[in-house]
Amino acid sequence: MTTTALPGAVRLPIAESADCHRFYIDGAWQEPDGCAHAFTVVNPANERELGRIAMGSESDVNRAVAAARRAFPAFSRSTVQERAALLDRIHALILERADELALALSLEMGVAITYARAAQVPFAAEHVRVAREALLNYSFLQQQGTTAIAREAIGVCGLITPWNWPLYQVTAKVAPALAAGCCVVLKPSELSPFSALMFARLMHDAGVPAGVFNLVNGTGPEVGAAMAEHPGIDMISITGSTRAGVLVAQAAAPTVKRVTQELGGKSPNVMLPDTDFARAVPLGVAAAFRNVGQSCSAPTRMVVPRGALAQVDALAREAAEALVVGDPMSPQTALGPIANRAQFERVQHMIQVGMEDGARLLCGGPGRPEGLNEGFYARPTIFSSVVTGMRIAQEEIFGPVLCILPYDTVEEAVTIANDTVYGLGAHVQGTDMEQARAVAGQIRAGQVLINHPAWDPFAPFGGYKLSGNGREYGRHGLEEYLETKAVLGFFASQAS
C-alpha cells in the first residue's frame, strides 16, 4: 500500500449556493417551512467543512407530497413517448455534467475522482438509459381471454437514498419511478447531499413537470419518518442499513403502503478448487475494496479451499499492498477516505474486534495509513483463517476489510456462504462451469456473479433475508412502481 499527499482546498460551487438552504418543491426552489436548522457537511478527506444544507421537517414533507399529488393525475396519464423523452433529456444532462457531478461525489463522500468518473457517474446515467429502454419495451396492457391485465403507476413515491453511492442510488429509484408515471419525493442522505442537489437542478433543466420530482433534505428520524408515515405517499423505496429499513417498514405499516428495501449485505466470494487463483484473487480484493468497501454487495468474505490458503493469502496481500490510498483528487489514488467520521470509527472498531477474536492479520490493521494524519483514511485490511462465527465474518463492516475463510469440501463452502443473516450478493469462481452454476444455485442471494462478469444494468438487484425485498434495475425495477389492475370483459365483443 502506498499513499498520496493530503488534499488541498478544492471548491464546490453548489456548496456555496443559496439552493443548499432550500428544497426543490413543485418545480421551484423553496424556502424551508419554519425555522430550519443548518447541517454541516464535512469533506472526509480533510475533516473540514465543505458546506451547509437546510434540514427539513414534517411540514416540508407535507408541501412536497401535496405538490406530487397535484401532479400525479396528469403525469400518470402522460404517454410512454413523453416519459421516454424526459428520461432522454435527463440522461443527456448527466453525461454533459459528468465532471461536475464527479467532483461533487469526490468532495462530499471521498470517492477517488477516477472512480467517480469511471463508475459512479456513468453507472448512474446507465440507470436512466435502462429505465427508458425498459419503458419502451414494456407492455402495460395484456390480454387474458376477455380480461385485460393493466399495469398502472402506483402513485406518489417516497425515495430514501444513502451516502455511499449518492447519485447512483438516486437515479436507480427516480428513473424507473418516472418511467412508470409516478411522482416522487426524494430524501437524499444529509451526509452526501450536494450531488443530489445538482441532480435536482438537472431535473429542472430537463423540463420535469412541476410537482413530479421533489427533494427535501433532512434526517431519517424526521424527514424519512414523515415520508414513511404519510398517507399521501403510496410507496416507499429505501436503500440503507437493515436497521433503517426496519424502522421505515414499521412506520409505513399503518398506511399499508408498498415498501421496497435494498439493505445490508455480507456477500461471499466462493472460490472452487479449480479456480485460477492468480486471476480471481486480485479481482476479488478489488471487488471487496471498490468504493473503499462501502458497497452493500461488496464480496467481503473470500471462501477458499484450505489447501490453497497460503497461495490465496500471498496473492491477496500483494493485491492490497499495491493499492494507493490518499487524496481522492489524485489520479494515482485507488482508495480515498471513508465517507464520514461515524463510519470511520465503526471500521476501526471492527478491525480491533477481528484482532481480538483471533483472526490472522495479513495486512493493514487499525489506524490511518502512514503519512495520512487527517481525514477518515483506513488501511486496506485483510484477515485470514477466519472462522464463520467471528463477528467480522457476520457483521457488515462497510469499509476496506476482507475476511478469508478456508473450507474443506464444496458442501462446506456453500454452508459458509449461506451462514449469514444477509442475502444480497454473492460471487462464485471456478473453471468448471457446471459446478460453478450448481454452487450459484445453492447460494441464498438475490444476485450471484460467476467469474467476475461485466456489470449488467438490466439484471435485477435486491436481497433475500435481512437484505431487503423488492428489486431494482431494468424491467423488474420498473415493475416495483406499478400496480396491477384486472378489467374483466374488457376484450368482449359486445355487452351481454
Any idea which residues carry the catalytic annotation? 262, 296
How far apart CA 288 and CA 44 sit, in angstroms, is 21
CA angle 327, 333, 338 (to 5 degrees): 60
Span between the terminal Cα atoms of the chain, in Å: 78
Q: How many residues does the chain have?
A: 496
The DSSP output letter for 37 is P
The pair phi, psi for residue 483, each rounded to 5°, is -100, 160
Helix (H) or strand (E) holding 301: strand 301-305
Measured CA to CA, the distance from residue 363 to residue 354 in angstroms comes to: 12
Instruction: Give the other-Cβ count within 10 Å of 393's Cβ.
Output: 24
Output b/e per residue, 75-102; b: 16+ Cβ within 10 A. Answer: bbebeeeebbebbebbbebbeebbebbb
User: CA-to-CA distance for 167 and 160, rounded, in angstroms?
Assistant: 12
| Residues ≥6 apart with Cβ < 8 Å to 398 | 164, 293, 294, 296, 343, 346, 347
Task: Decide if 318 contacts 284 (C-beta within 8 A).
Answer: no
The grid coordinates listed for 223 are 424527514
3-class DSSP assignment, residue 406: strand
CB-count exposure of residue 273 (10 Å: 0-12, 13-18, 19+): middle
Q: Point out which residues pair with 429 in neighbouring strands.
A: 271
* Set of cell numbers at residue 459: 439484471
User: In sequence order, which residues have a C-beta less than 8 Å from that of residue 395 and are 6 or more positions away?
Assistant: 266, 350
Q: Say if residues 468 and 262 touch (Cβ distance below 8 Å).
A: yes
Q: Which three cell numbers stand for residue 355?
A: 484482532
C-alpha cell at 378: 483506513
C-alpha–C-alpha distance, residues 194 and 107, integer Å: 9
Tell me the C-alpha distance between 319 and 336, whole Å: 17
> β-pairing, 268-271 with 425-429?
parallel
